[in-house]
Structure 1
Amino acid sequence: MFEGLERITYQSGDQIFQEGDVSNCAYLIEGGGVEISIQREKQPFRVSILTVGDLFGEMALIDKQPRIATATALDETCLVRISRDALEDKLTKVDPIIEHLLRLILRRFRKTHYRLTQKDYLLPEDADQVTDVDFDRTQENMIVHVRIASDIIDALSRNEFELHYQPIYSIKDNRIVGFEALSRWHHPVYGIMSPMQFIDIAESSDQILSIGLWVLEKACADLKTLSEEYEQSPLFVSVNISARQLANAEHIAKFIGVVEQAGVDPACINLEVTETMLISELDYAQQTLSSLQEQGFMISLDDFGTGFSSLSHLQKFPVNMIKIDRSFVRQMLLDHDSMQIVKASIGLAQALDLETVAEGVENEDELARLAELKCDY
């Protein structure tokens, strides 16, 4: 299997590579053992001990970032050297989904490495145990990640998704005026999953496009039923729309077609976008959202106050309402800073003739205070 590959022998204590070195190859252990360590406060801390059959340094086969750890031979150690050049051609021919998953795994490893090196609260004698646990957990998470990325491809055809609805309540009119559509995935292994557990994976591929259309179709159909049940009209329904959806002109055309075919007034569809997404995808987001708003869709800015909020962003983008993040709403009666953020958000919205939605209201005291501040929903 490894015929023709270079073999290198290291003696006990020899460094195979050092943290920060330029990466260009991985190693398979044929004999001996290797210690993997990281630097924290200029001191080496052991991450793991590798033995015969283990592969290490494999991140260098996929990206060109510097080494994130140091590898040292524990005794006389024979290694098979696997160069990036040997695999580069194969990697370019691999399924794009697989290549993307590999890069996501690398990103997860690198984030974990950074987090571990920042753990100033660890005592040196505890470092081995804690870092081992963290890396084991990371490996488990990656297995779950790969499983989800694979299973999400057929989840729609297996009818594993469903929508739940959170009422949107008009404080002034004292009635329900709309609903927020919340997707849930009934995974056959991991049970009920919220979007926080799978949406990033979906957004990393075109799966988010299929899921987005399904959510809209279901929400449009359910809106008619909800309107009849509550005997109130017009109700609106809020659905999330991602950067990948906004960037795909063909998808947006289908998106509009779904609403038209369902016979729903676009004014009854509220598209929720995050401010972080707007800032990162500034150009096409502004243009696409403006077009959707001109056709009657409402646009709301989700999780307001948690990202890069500024007056210029609210002026620049076609927004009808802002949603004040639940983290501020839940703490506003207990924490002065949270109350000031809620007040400022509502005041800013009023100055710009925008409506406000307070997320996560749980009791009458919170509702009464929001009414005093003239929050809309």
Structure 2
Amino acid sequence: MSSSFVTPLLQKLLRRSPDTADTTALDPSLTGLTGSADASESAASPQLANPEFQMKLVTQFYPPDFAATGQFMDELAQNLSQQNVDVRVFTAQPGYAVEAGQGQAPAQEWMGNVFVERSNFFRGGSRQWAGRTVTSLAFCLHTMWHLLRYENRGDLIFLTSEPPFLQVVGWLIHWLFGTKFVTLIYDLYPEVAVELGVLSADHWLIQFWHDVNKKVWRDAAAIVVPCQTMKDRVVKHCPELADKITVIHNWADPTWIKPIAKADNPFAQEHELVNKFTVLYSGNMGRCHDMETILGAAQDLKNEAVHFLFVGGGPKREVVMEQIAERGLKNCSFLPYQDKAVLPLSLTACDLSLVSVDVEMEGLVAPSKFYSALSAGRPVAVICEQHSYLRALVSDASCGAAIQNGDAKGLAGFIRYLSKDPVMAARMGNCGHRYIQEYFTPQNISQQYFRLLNRAVSDNSALQQSVERGDFQVCFQPIVNLGNQKIWGIESGLRWQHPTRGLICPAEFHAVAEETGLIVPIGWWLLEEACSQLQTLQKQLNNPTLKLSVNLSRQVFTHPDLLSRLDRLINTYKIDPACLQLDIDDEAAMQDASATTATILQLQSRKIRVCISNFGETYKSFDYLHRFSLDSLKISPSLIGRIGIDPEIVNFLGTIVILGKDLGMEVVVQGIESSDELLRMREIGIQYGQGHLFSQLISAPDVATLYTQNQHVISYLMPEPDADGDTTINADAPSVLIADDDRSMRAILRSIIQKAGYRVIEAEDGARAVELFTAHEPDLVLLDAMMPELNGFDCCRALRSQMTESEGNVAVAVKHVPILLITALDDEASIDAAFSAGATDYITKPINWTVLKRRVTKFLG
């Protein structure tokens, strides 16, 4: 090619188009290789007047393509656009949709607030390796051509790993023009090709591929992977990339895919699934998926009332159909890929969803169907290896079971179990749906992407300038003593006063502050300002014991200047060191346990308190109690949000309370959002709490106002009064003796009993309960099992002895008053002890108030 041709060509490719270009009437001649290259330059978002940044999203699959990658990228693009990001998509013509018989998609179109351009250079629907390779290479070439134009690149290029060569294009553009790029690895190549037997591990192409990956990843602004096991695989090859790789899970929209009863599901009705226990496999039946274990379970259940439905396509679909025919299985049926609009119906037309990852594929692929299956509100059976991250998710969500690859009988057994226990199946399904609602919504995940991408685009100059100017605000959240209902202390929070975006929470800038080292001066500013305002509040409220809790990053907590700065602050602001508490996140504390231990010992020698925050998020949490000498623990709000889902959390929290008392540590629960959560925390015995139920993050003057008002949390717990406000109780109404050493619990029980129309007698301990029982002869007794001196069991025996008289050597009951023991102990020995002591029945904590009221009504009428 002559230089006389190359120069004008590059000039044409790199030129800017006039700003007056038509954004709606696109030239029909712009097709093929040069087709959509000129289209996006003039396309302006119809809604984003002043976007944060412009991102070019490049992916081979995008709707109307049925591929899961495309569906996720569509949802991500739409959610990022709602966060004021100008997202432009460059993609290929549908490949999976070709199999479904759909035609060609528009070359350019607006999809919501996202502008989409599709390559018309080459279109193939082959799912064979050779055909896929040719199609993928053609798309990569067109992508390179497309991104040569300045207007097509934006501020950041975001590329998926499908096709696997696409990230190389991003690297080339970065090398040519300096444009930053971020790569999302959904499938880890070339490892996938090796595991599938396409090439051997020692093939020269595989070695070359590894070298190229290393170069690309090192120059990427960020790397995203959907699971920890994939990150581990990448770090094994490139240990230096550990800090650059971010794990961001896939997601599902629980407002779109949500539980629908099969009887109300048109899809289930159309395909006659309503009265069948249906096991669903939905999505790609690819080479990375274990279909053999599923077929083995189908064969084991061939004579039982269980139906297997396979929805989708992929390389293994025909093989699976052939094996089903050879085995003569009549309990299996197939449907093609369903349109995205049908997914909420197809995914809820079953009783159990299947997700599978084949042997040796863990960490190489991430099954996206897992999240939508949970969102559908159906139990999930995951077929995977022992070390799969999916096992941890299933266990955490309590949404189903994990089956070892090849264990067809185990899968069949789980299916039988659910088919015979619809209550348990419904419970697992509900747990899964709530788990998605809490952790894996498009909004939650897109915010993680936004923060990562925004950091990649930003040159950090705005944050640097704000640090120099001190453009931050300190705010506080009260820590409440749940016993006396008063503010015990305050926890400091931080907001960045961004020059254009206003107040920004730390989640959006904390990571970049740590990466750049700016977290240290930010930490010094926070300590100074928080101590200054603590001094003001202590004087204003005449409370020199008001506590201040400051959360520090690991870099600040282990910084060599921390202790000298704290000494200066304590002297400057005349603060009692015992009023100052430094919090460090549990994971940060364990990154360098030796340095953390040394800092803790030096702080405690100054009587400065130390707390581990977010305690309980990992199974290693109890390690901190053995490694560190702590003054306080702050329980992670994620545990509180799941307390109604996982009954084991109650036992876990009870264990923490016991350990806290034994080790002399205060236990604080974070994230109390509702009166029900507050009530449960009090029942468990947690002394301190904070959360939006008490107060949002507020300024120091607002803290003073709240403290002065002396607001009592007990108002959140009291049952609503009757509509007519009449609380008069008949003097002849049955009476109930309540014995509990917790004043607030007595108040709650009193309110509920009186509202039911009964009289109440209260005792603050077991000995007083015996006295009042003799004096008033109540009709029912409610005893707390764990009371000082005379516990509930011994008190129950004492009361029963008052109800008997001796006739010779025989004790004869002269009256029988029902006694209900209220206990957090539900083991067999404790239950036997309750009945042996003479209890009529028992109620376990946390108390189900509906059950309690029904028991009271049962005994009193």
Give the TM-score normalised by structure 1. Answer: 0.67
TM-superposed deviation, 1:194? 1.1
Structure 2 residue aligned with 1:318: 629
Note the alpha carbon deviations across 1:114-138, whole angstroms, 9 max, x for none. Answer: 969525339xxxxxxxxxxx99x96
- Following the alignment from structure 2 to structure 1, what is the Cα–Cα distance between the partners of residues 597 and 605? 12
Structure 2 residue aligned with 1:106: 222
TM-superposed deviation, 1:139? 8.7
- Following the alignment from structure 2 to structure 1, what is the Cα–Cα distance between the partners of residues 168 and 499? 43
CA distance 1:288–1:191, shift in 2 (3 Å): same
Structure 2 residue aligned with 1:245: 556
TM-superposed deviation, 1:231? 3.4
Note the alpha carbon deviations across 1:44-89, whole angstroms, 9 max, x for none. Answer: 696865233747xxxxxxxxxx999325999xxxx99969xxxxxx
- Following the alignment from structure 2 to structure 1, what is the Cα–Cα distance between the partners of residues 666 and 529? 26
Structure 1 residue aligned with 2:144: 51
Partner amino acid for 2:143? L
The answer (yes or no) to whether the contact 2:467–2:518 under 8 Å persists in 1 is: no
Q: 44, 49, 69: which is aligned to 2:164?
A: 69
Structure 1 residue aligned with 2:463: 152
- Following the alignment from structure 1 to structure 2, what is the Cα–Cα distance between the partners of residues 36 and 175? 55
TM-superposed deviation, 1:175? 1.3
Which stretch of the first structure deviates more once superposed, 207-216 or 340-349?
340-349
CA distance 1:366–1:282, shift in 2 (3 Å): same
CA distance 1:335–1:321, shift in 2 (3 Å): same
Q: 317, 329, 336: which is aligned to 2:647?
A: 336
Structure 2 residue aligned with 1:129: none
Matches within 5 A, 1:109-148: 111=246, 117-121=365-369, 141-147=452-458
Larger CA Rg, structure 1 vs 2: 2
Which stretch of the first structure deviates more once superposed, 167-176 or 293-302?
167-176
- Following the alignment from structure 1 to structure 2, what is the Cα–Cα distance between the partners of residues 52 and 279? 48
CA distance 1:50–1:215, shift in 2 (3 Å): same
CA distance 1:197–1:81, shift in 2 (3 Å): closer
Matches within 5 A, 1:113-262: 117-121=365-369, 141-147=452-458, 149-262=460-573
The answer (yes or no) to whether the contact 1:37–1:69 under 8 Å persists in 2 is: no
CA distance 1:179–1:353, shift in 2 (3 Å): same
Structure 2 residue aligned with 1:276: 587
Q: Which has the higher contact order (CA 8 A, sep 6+)?
A: 1
Partner amino acid for 1:120? S
The answer (yes or no) to whether the contact 1:112–1:138 under 8 Å persists in 2 is: no
CA distance 1:252–1:147, shift in 2 (3 Å): farther
CA distance 1:231–1:361, shift in 2 (3 Å): farther
CA distance 1:118–1:219, shift in 2 (3 Å): same
TM-superposed deviation, 1:310? 4.1
Note the alpha carbon deviations across 1:101-155, whole angstroms, 9 max, x for none. Answer: x878233485479969525339xxxxxxxxxxx99x9699534544373211121
Note the alpha carbon deviations across 1:229-285, whole angstroms, 9 max, x for none. Answer: 433331011101221113321344224322332221221111001111111111111
Partner amino acid for 1:232? N
CA distance 1:139–1:234, shift in 2 (3 Å): closer
- Aligned-CA RMSD value: 4.2
- Following the alignment from structure 1 to structure 2, what is the Cα–Cα distance between the partners of residues 298 and 223? 15
Structure 2 residue aligned with 1:298: 609
What is the DSSP-based 3-state SS (H/G/I as helix, E as strand, rest coil) of the residue aligned with 1:204?
A: helix
What is the DSSP-based 3-state SS (H/G/I as helix, E as strand, rest coil) of the residue aligned with 1:233?
A: coil
Note the alpha carbon deviations across 1:20-55, whole angstroms, 9 max, x for none. Answer: xxxxxxxxxxx999x986999997696865233747
CA distance 1:250–1:113, shift in 2 (3 Å): closer
The answer (yes or no) to whether the contact 1:36–1:69 under 8 Å persists in 2 is: no
- Following the alignment from structure 2 to structure 1, what is the Cα–Cα distance between the partners of residues 168 and 659? 61
What is the DSSP-based 3-state SS (H/G/I as helix, E as strand, rest coil) of the residue aligned with 1:249?
A: coil
CA distance 1:366–1:159, shift in 2 (3 Å): same
What is the DSSP-based 3-state SS (H/G/I as helix, E as strand, rest coil) of the residue aligned with 1:301?
A: strand
Instruction: Please list every run of 5 or more consecutive structure 2 residues that lacks an aligned counterpart in the other structure.
Output: 1-32, 36-57, 62-66, 70-126, 149-160, 177-217, 226-244, 252-364, 371-444, 689-861
Which stretch of the first structure deviates more once superposed, 305-314 or 260-269?
305-314
Which stretch of the first structure deviates more once superposed, 141-150 or 212-221?
141-150
What is the DSSP-based 3-state SS (H/G/I as helix, E as strand, rest coil) of the residue aligned with 1:306?
A: coil
What is the DSSP-based 3-state SS (H/G/I as helix, E as strand, rest coil) of the residue aligned with 2:555?
A: helix
Note the alpha carbon deviations across 1:341-368, whole angstroms, 9 max, x for none. Answer: 3223222222322110011223443333
- Following the alignment from structure 1 to structure 2, what is the Cα–Cα distance between the partners of residues 73 and 329? 45
TM-superposed deviation, 1:303? 0.4
TM-superposed deviation, 1:161? 0.7
- Following the alignment from structure 1 to structure 2, what is the Cα–Cα distance between the partners of residues 260 and 81? 52
Does residue 356 of structure 1 match 2:663? Answer: no
- Following the alignment from structure 1 to structure 2, what is the Cα–Cα distance between the partners of residues 154 and 345? 43
CA distance 1:162–1:72, shift in 2 (3 Å): closer
The answer (yes or no) to whether the contact 1:171–1:376 under 8 Å persists in 2 is: yes
Q: Which has the higher strand share?
A: 1
- Following the alignment from structure 1 to structure 2, what is the Cα–Cα distance between the partners of residues 266 and 187? 33
Structure 1 residue aligned with 2:620: 309
Note the alpha carbon deviations across 1:153-183, whole angstroms, 9 max, x for none. Answer: 1213334210111001112232111100010
- Following the alignment from structure 2 to structure 1, what is the Cα–Cα distance between the partners of residues 575 and 529? 12
Partner amino acid for 1:52? W
CA distance 1:52–1:360, shift in 2 (3 Å): same
- Following the alignment from structure 1 to structure 2, what is the Cα–Cα distance between the partners of residues 308 and 149? 36
Matches within 5 A, 1:5-84: 49-52=142-145, 54=147, 69-71=164-166
Which stretch of the first structure deviates more once superposed, 367-376 or 162-171?
367-376
- Following the alignment from structure 2 to structure 1, what is the Cα–Cα distance between the partners of residues 163 and 517? 31
Give the TM-score normalised by structure 2. Answer: 0.31
* Matched positions, count: 304
The answer (yes or no) to whether the contact 1:148–1:198 under 8 Å persists in 2 is: no
Partner amino acid for 1:220? C
The answer (yes or no) to whether the contact 1:328–1:339 under 8 Å persists in 2 is: no
- Following the alignment from structure 1 to structure 2, what is the Cα–Cα distance between the partners of residues 152 and 81? 24
CA distance 1:68–1:186, shift in 2 (3 Å): farther
